[in-house]
Chain A
């Protein structure tokens, strides 16, 4: 069974600093995708970034990058130059290949950006 672990319930970061949110996963399937979502206090789920298990390079999307270490089964999200608007819950998720593949989420990390 696939599993996602986020060990940081809460994180603080100062504005303009970089922050890393941890995510480890467990799967026996060689083909899978890893996702990060942001959930601000409004409740909407916003897709941030994707990494495929066969991708050779780490994914980047603007200020977001994914530090993918396949052998260690980790997919940490790095946010550079934090902004006050980055304060939110962040969820890591995984989806295996196949027709009936479910999308599984971790418990989330609440990030608070301070002045």
Chain B
């Protein structure tokens, strides 16, 4: 079974802190994605990566950066956390070809206080 693992289920951070959200997949997938999910807004794409060290901005990249040094790991970085970044963060991975589904991690509920 494909497994996508996010490092934390719940996280509480202070305003201004640098926050790292880690995601690891075990199926050798080329593509990895970071989304945030907010009520009424669905899943919004923050960043995605289609290969090691390759990244593309999604629809809401402001305030975030990413790192993909190894194929299996994709990190989301909040450079200076703000309260409006309180949200559920979902990581996903997939093969590169368009007709395969993405597999999701369990999500990280981040609260910035």
Contacts and interface: CB of A to CB of B under 8 A. Distances in A.
Interface of A: 6, 9, 31-33, 35, 43-45, 47, 50, 52, 91, 93, 95-108
Contacts of B102: 35, 47, 93, 103
A45 B56 CA distance: 23
A44 B42 contact: no
Given A35-B101, A52-B99, A103-B33, A45 B90 contact: yes
B2 to A, nearest CB: 10
Contact of B98 (A9, A32, A91, A107): A32
A9 B106 contact: no
Most chain B CB inside 10 Å of its own CB: which residue of A45, A47, A107: A45
The B interface, classified by DSSP as helix, strand, loop or mixed, is strand
A43 B56 contact: no
B45 interface: yes
B104 A96 contact: no
B98 A96 contact: yes
B21 interface: no
A30 B54 CA distance: 25
B75 interface: no
Most chain B CB inside 10 Å of its own CB: which residue of A47, A52, A101: A101
Contacts of B41: 107
Interface in B16-47: 31, 33, 35, 40-45
A101 B95 CA distance: 11
B58 to A, nearest CB: 6
B33 A102 contact: yes
A6 B41 CA distance: 11
19 contacts: A6-B42, A32-B98, A33-B99, A35-B102, A43-B106, A45-B92, A47-B101, A52-B99, A91-B42, A91-B43, A93-B102, A97-B98, A98-B98, A102-B56, A102-B58, A104-B45, A105-B45, A106-B42, A107-B41
B50 A50 contact: no
A94 to B, nearest CB: 9
